[in-house]
Amino acid sequence: MDWSDNDYWEDLERKEKSAILREYRHLLKTISYEITEDDTEEIRKAFEVALEAHSGVRRKSGELYIFHPLAVANIAKVEIGVDSVGIICALLHDVVEDSNMTIQDMEDLFGKKVATIIAGLTKISEIFDQNTNLQAENFKKLILTLAQDVRVILIKLADRLHNMRTLGSMSEDKSRKIASETMFLYAPLAHRLGLYNIKSEMEDLSLKFLEPNIFNELKEKLQKSKAVRTRFLNRFSLPIERGLEKAGLKFQIVGRTKSIHSIFQKMRKQNIPFEEVYDILAVRIVIDSSSENEKSDIWKTYSIVTDYYKPNPDRLRDWISTPKANGYESLHITVMSPGGKWVEVQIRSERMNDISENGYAAHWKYKDQKEEHVVDQWIGKIRESIENQEVHSEDFLNDFRLNLFEKEIIVFSPKGDAITLPANCTPVDFAYEIHSDLGDTCIGAKVNNSLVPLSQTLHSGDQIEVITTRKGRPSEEWLKFAKTAKAKSKIKSFLKSEKKKLSGLGQTILKKELRELGIKPLKENMYKVAYFYNLPSLEELFYQVKSNRLNLNNLSKLKIEKGLIRNNFSKKKDTIITNVGGKAELTNTDDSETSADYNLAECCNPVPGEKVFGFIGDNNQVEIHRVSCPNAVEIQSQKHFRVIEAKWTNQQALAFLSGIKITGIDSKGMVNDITMKISQNLNINMRSINFESLDGYFEGKISSYVTDIDHLNDLIQEISNVKGVDKVIRVDVHL
């Protein structure tokens, strides 16, 4: 075909026009039964504005850009359940950023509500799509915007989901950054808003780009075992169906397969293969029941299920009586199947299932308008935390994110009020949840009328009484056991205000010390001193001086000229580690090469042959991590500006520490057989070895030195062949 042929391009244009109209009509078809003519007209106008604004613009994949807002609008409506205003904003979400139109133009055309949401989306787009390290500060802005109108984040989640679905057109480093950010921030937000389907898909797509080999392997295994799961579901459901029909209940029974990411997390956490993940399939029973009868019908269903299958009493999860903080309601039980496997059964009404699928937006179909939605309450708590400007943004982000995925407990005040808190929280968290002043002045607590330390872990059903005094004050020790973002934020705020007082005194001491050394106490010099001690800020420098935590005698090592510090501590960040082995060779953007020291990260112990990346730490020391490192997602999403590419050099003489765990049936001479395989057949030096045996079962851990990933795999294979060995897996070694 002649690519310059005008007929070809005209034909392509016709096909694209047809495809655009087809997508637009599909969007209208999905909402036609629930919107007015006025809504339809506004949506049509929004589509035309977006079409004009994105005219001729294409995405990285080559597709016309207009397909993106159409897809986002479709996701926002079908998979999240936003209203007509949400659909209009989804269509317009990139217009202000990509054209000459302003927020005022949006207000003139579509009204103030739409303009406010578009302003929020534009602000998020501006701050999140830049290649900067302002993500923690930006995340605070995002949550503040969310608090104005939750549709901002609902549309942003739809936008991010579509970007993840089309991520294949991006370069590997860009796709890894976006996938890490999605796993780190957006999937937890979707979870907190009750959007479980979107959360699961985001996690799976992130895993696809972060661990493509593992993702494809698990996807293939799920596909191969699909027929087996279907047959099992049919056999398992048959007696339950008969029992429910006999009871006169209307119902639907479906199988829900665990997401690939969830399977991978369980395999990694429990060090088990795919075949040993027992709860890959869950059975969901959805009851068609009226609101006044749904609870009784659900418990009736529970009784019928347990008539046929014996339940595990330790695995009952009742989120009917006490829904989760994001509004999730369901009854989860785990029963023993005839084949000897545990099966999770989820029982819920159609209303509960709708909220579970569509989260926040679906709740509005059923809620009493006077009732405050649980997510509104959650957003209010987050706003209260953010309003404290003293807390460092990165601290806020880390604390906030921890609370997104936390399991929850219900505890009670002395008057019997029920309070929802994250699992493993303490009386300090409870105190701050009630009121900031109560937290600031607490000195002790009673749990179930017994005096306990403030670090005591609370459990569901506990009744807590906080003991206070006007002289009480938060302690730095509290940060070690406080769990909620609100408690940590308030404690850090108090400590920071105290630190500020001490910093003023420390600054006076440092200035005096600098003058004695002939150094002018200028801010420029102060910053160089902070850098010299690897401290993040002048305030921290002054505080540590006052606290006598620094050896000020080391200041004599500084090079001083005419009262100014001349030491140049900075290193180039725009580098690529082209060889890792012995000394790292750094290639700068100007193609010049320098050498730098580096460490192999102890959190993952990378060995040659594995995919790795470099991370420039606070002290400018380069750390080498595996791309599958447990900390990789956090590093590449939150601190990506300090991530550099890394490749191994071919230096087989070097040895790298790695660990393996061995389990199996114990027998005489087992340890000797294993050590002989290691030392003789593979010529490997062992650093440590530990074996424990109990009632015929043994478990051993060996740390040894290997040259590369192939050497490690050979070691695992050799030990697997020893008679009596059941499983050999790699584990991290912590020095």
Residues with active-site annotation: 97-98
Contact by Cβ (8 Å): 533, 541: yes
Query: Residue 216 has which token pair?
Result: 């494809």
Which contiguous run of DSSP H or E holds residue 451?
A: strand 450-452
Q: CA 315 to CA 122: how far, in whole Å?
A: 45
Burial label, 231 (beta-carbon count in 10 A; 0-12, 13-18, 19+) = exposed
Tell me the one-letter amino acid at 136.
A
- The DSSP code for 554 is G
Tell me the one-letter amino acid at 611.
K
Q: CA 122 to CA 274: how far, in whole Å?
A: 43
Q: Long-range CB contacts (< 8 A, 24+ apart) of 493-496?
A: 493/388, 493/390, 493/391, 494/440, 496/390, 496/391
Radius of gyration for the chain, computed over Cα atoms and rounded to the nearest angstrom: 30
Burial label, 77 (beta-carbon count in 10 A; 0-12, 13-18, 19+) = buried
Measuring CA to CA, which residue among 644, 572, 569 is closest to residue 613?
A: 644
In a 13 Å sphere around the CA of 699, the CA atoms on its Cβ side amount to 4
Alpha helix segments (H runs only) across 182-310: 187-192, 196-210, 212-224, 226-246, 260-270, 294-308
Beta strands in 314-434 (DSSP E): 317-318, 331-336, 342-349, 408-412, 418-422
CA dihedral of residues 380, 384, 387, 389 (deg, nearest 10): -140
Pairing, β 686-694 against β 612-616:
unpaired
Measuring CA to CA, which residue among 626, 621, 593 is closest to residue 709?
A: 626
Which contiguous run of DSSP H or E holds residue 252?
A: strand 251-257
Please spell the DSSP secondary structure of 281-309, one letter per residue: EEEEEEE---TTTHHHHHHHHHHHHHHHS
Exposure string for 29-54, b = 16+ CB within 10 A, e = fewer? eebeeeeeeebeebbeebbebbbebb
Contact by Cβ (8 Å): 625, 606: yes
Query: Residue 80 has which token pair?
Result: 């999240």
Q: CA 367 to CA 350: how far, in whole Å?
A: 14
Q: CA 153 to CA 86: how far, in whole Å?
A: 11
Q: Show the CA angle centred on residue 215, arms to residues 67 and 640, nearest 5°.
A: 70
Q: CA 276 to CA 663: how far, in whole Å?
A: 15
3-state SS string for 605-655: CCCCCCCEEEEECCCCCEEEEECCCCCHHHHHHHCHHHEEEEEECCCCCCC
Residue 282, φ and ψ in degrees, nearest 5 = -115, 150
Measured between alpha carbons, how far is residue 360 from residues 357, 421, 437 in Å?
Answer: 10, 20, 31
Which contiguous run of DSSP H or E holds residue 603?
A: none
